[in-house]
Chains A and B, each alone.
Chain A
Amino acid sequence: MLTRRSGMARSAAIAVLVVIVIAAVAGVVSYYYVSTAPATTSTATSTATSTATSTQTVTSTGISTLISTSVKTVTSTGVQPINIGILAPLTDVTGIDEKEGAQLAVTEINDHGGVLGRPLQIVSEDTQEADPTIPVSTGLAAMNRIVTVDHAQVIIGGERSDVVLAEEQQLPKYKIPFLDTGAADTSLGQQVIQNYSLYKYFFMVSPVNSTSLATGLISFYGYFHYVEPNYTKVYILAEDIAVWHALVPVLQYFLPQLGFTIVNPQSAGADYFPYGSTDFTTQMTNVRTSGAQIICLLAAGQDSVQLIQTWANLQVPAIPMGIDVAAESPSFWGQTNGAAKYETIEVGIGDTGTPINTIGANFYANYSKYYNTLPIYTADGAYESVYIIAHAMQAAGTTNGTALIPYIEKTNMTGPDGLIRFDKSHNVIYNEDYTKGGALSMVQWTAFNTYTPVWPPTVAKPISLPPWM
């Protein structure tokens, strides 16, 4: 009897514990309701005041069209702001610059009266996707929070293609536009074509999709063969991931036609190494023994940091020229202890450090003014995206996600990377000429925090080869 009573007491106690646990969830969530909104508004307005000076520079750009149509003066007090959601790895440089780039655009737009008479406001959630060990579910939880708790009316962000693919799967549920500014995977756009009604919410703003990246790379190789006709032996070295498996055949088809010979010993005609490898002596030895003069490098992960160091340490007589996402961030030089010198990589033409148009120029000027650093490739993507949304909302006269889609599809706007238009797959259209589409550039690392454009010819400076070649 005694034992039984104590037993009941225990179960009662545990029952209480459970209830407390449940209550905790409720508490957490309601906490989020109250806390997030004011926090970000205050930051938004504070930067807004600090950027009053930028008005002049901005109105002189292509955005003026937008401003003229929008209400000139709006007091953000009392008006319900439009929430622009930033879904990115906020503790990582890519996410930080992403948010700052978007914040810059928001500030500029709010200075000119916002959109539909309402100010824009950044809400952000951390997907932590820069850390490869973090599961997709973390990103999806963040996405859910940004929609259902922060009430974002549009999402800008994305970096790791598995996370973005998973996020794309959720769009039919949330029915709000998702502007991808990180992942270049073609399969993202394929979804839109195959099942438009479900996935029409997805748009790839920057970079151009991986196929276009390959196209750009190939035309660069053509140019390189013209300036350096003696370097023709190419060794294809790529991470063992699906996006590269899709690109390599394209390169294997076109490079020989441009006069190159692919010297890979592997049966696949390309050397695939595990994503996240740390030891590259095998690959670099194979490159050397294959007698290659060029390493056609395809790397999306941080592993290239180690790859390039091994390349430099072993003084492999072949120059790496290709796509290397990690190498696009300015910190790469430091990460590799300077080994990055001579590596030549593909970037958006807006990211070469030398702006191609006034918008780019102003973007660079304002960005470095407010944040005292140079933007990396995610920043201008986010910056452009905010303006795309602002235009669409202004034109549609609503913030309803589904209603916005046709207007986003009609986007015809100039940004730091060139003209922005979307194709059937909702990918930004690529064109070598930045006045006709999103353009690319090849840049070579030359010094700390600096790479110089070596392609397209319009901006090209001569390529320098490592002394050990």
Chain B
Amino acid sequence: MARLSRLLVIGVVIGLTLVLFPVVYSNDFALTIMTFANTLAIVAVSWDFFTGLTGRFNFGQALFFGVGSYAAGFMNLNLKYGPMLTIPLAGAVAIVIGVAFGYPTLRLKGPYFALATLIFPLIAGDLTFSLSSVFGGEHGLYGLATISDSYVVQYYGSLLLMLATVIVLLYLASSRLGLALESIRDDEKAASATGMNVTNYKLVAYIISAFFTGMAGAYQAQLFKFVGPDTFSSNISFEVIAMTIVGGIATIVGPVLGAYLLVIVLDGLGVSSDISVLTYGVLLMVIVLAFPGGLLGRLKTNLRGMRIRRLVGGKPAAT
């Protein structure tokens, strides 16, 4: 036990609580809300993996969410692929889009990348209307196949996908890749002076983030049996930013808790959109000003400890 990384302990505790949740407290509405939370948690965690580790701000995570949703919907309607197939494939499509947008933009210095990401989802959202023959305009794509109508199944499905995402991204973040990304965040010039191709590493992180977000979009598509232009809405991009900041940026695990917290505030309490969005706006503001590390920012050190143990096997003593 004592050998286990703190992060793993925390992970296990969270995992168990979530796995047991339906057994302990089986309520359809609560399950639905938790399913939403899981889906958004995936997006938040993937956002954190790219932006948290590389420090390059992505204001358009909704791009991948929408692309994933539409890809899944399109494949389900036109190729009759089932959800089990469309979810990973949607992730793959998101990767393609990730390369298409990431490869040119990630070379941009300073704020240009951040600002460019603000634009892409807007373009995509408009395209769903201008190309309504393909994307169905405001109708979106409907009548999609679903994994199951059971709340419990959908909950566990989303939970599975979410935990898988967290574990994989945690593994990557604590690996050599994660180390490279964090060095890029701290000083891009110095990072290139260690012999790494900075742009390639950023691109890799970008498409990994795209992949999982795309799958989340596909999961929601089969959950709702519907995909609409709202999957590109900047609300989603901003929400996941708030979730990550609340949970603690560059912690991978933090965003999950942030997601639960906010989804419960937004959908769970069912307060008017204005109030709830206001809430996360204020929350974001307060945390950025008061808790730079987010509420769980201290997890960062655990991530680092985990990485050191994996790379050099245990903590070395001072020389």
Contacts and interface: CB of A to CB of B under 8 A. Distances in A.
Asked if chains A and B are in direct contact (CB within 8 A), the reply is yes
Interface of A: 4, 7-8, 10-11, 14-15, 17-19, 21-22, 24-26, 28-29, 32, 91, 125-126, 128, 131, 133-138, 140-142, 144-145, 148-149, 160-162, 165-166, 168-170, 172-173, 185, 187, 191, 195, 240-243, 245, 274-275
10 contacts: A17-B257, A29-B27, A29-B29, A126-B270, A128-B273, A137-B224, A141-B267, A148-B28, A160-B138, A169-B226
Interface string B114-133: 00000000000010011010
B136 A242 contact: yes
A160 B298 CA distance: 44
Interface string B5-42: 01001100110011001000101111011101000000
A135 B230 contact: yes
B270 A145 contact: yes
B228 interface: yes
Contact of A245 (B2, B132, B230, B296): B132
Contacts of B126: 274
Contact of A145 (B29, B142, B257): B29
A125 B270 contact: yes
Contacts of A26: 25, 27, 30
B236 interface: yes
Given A14-B299, A162-B138, 10 more contacts: A28-B269, A135-B235, A138-B273, A141-B33, A148-B27, A161-B139, A165-B140, A166-B226, A240-B129, A242-B136
B6 A8 contact: yes
Contact of A135 (B33, B233, B270, B302): B233
B68 interface: no
A19 B264 contact: no
Contacts of A137: 36, 220, 224, 230, 267
Nearest to B27: A29
Contact of B138 (A29, A125, A170, A241): A241
B13 A22 contact: no
Contact of B13 (A15, A144, A161): A15
B172 interface: no
A136 B136 contact: no
A140 B223 CA distance: 11
Contacts of B140: 162, 165-166
Contacts of A126: 270, 272
Contacts of B229: 162
Most buried by B among A91, A128, A141: A141
Size range of the chain B interface in the assembly: 35 or more
Contacts of A243: 138-139
Interface centre among A135, A149, A173, A185 (most CB of B within 10 A): A135
Given A8-B6, A24-B264, A162-B228, A241 B143 contact: no
Contact of B264 (A17, A21, A134, A169): A21
Contacts of B302: 7
A21 B260 CA distance: 7
B224 A140 contact: yes
B235 A241 contact: no
B28 A11 contact: no
B231 interface: yes
B293 interface: no
B29 A169 contact: no
B157 interface: no
Contact of B139 (A17, A28, A131, A165): A165
A136 B228 contact: yes
A126 B14 CA distance: 32
Contacts of B14: 15, 18
B220 A28 contact: no
Contacts of A149: 29
A11 B6 contact: yes
Contact of B29 (A128, A136, A144, A185): A144
Contacts of B10: 11, 14-15
Interface string B255-277: 00100110010111110111000
Q: A24, A131, A144, A161: which has the most chain B beta carbons within 10 Å?
A: A144
Nearest to A141: B267
Given A128-B272, A165-B142, A136 B230 contact: yes
Contacts of B300: none
A330 to B, nearest CB: 23
B139 A142 contact: no
Contacts of B18: 22
A241 B228 contact: no
Interface in B174-233: 220, 224-226, 228-231, 233
A188 B2 CA distance: 59
Contacts of B25: 22, 25-26
A245 B299 CA distance: 53
Given A126-B272, A169-B225, A240 B137 contact: yes
B129, B149, B234, B257 — most chain A CB neighbours (10 Å): B129
Nearest to A300: B138
B113 to A, nearest CB: 25
A274 B30 contact: no
Given A166-B226, A243-B138, A25 B273 contact: no
A128 B142 CA distance: 21
B264 to A, nearest CB: 6
A19 B224 CA distance: 28
B230 A28 contact: no
Nearest to A91: B272
Contacts of A160: 138
Contact of A10 (B6, B257, B269, B272): B6
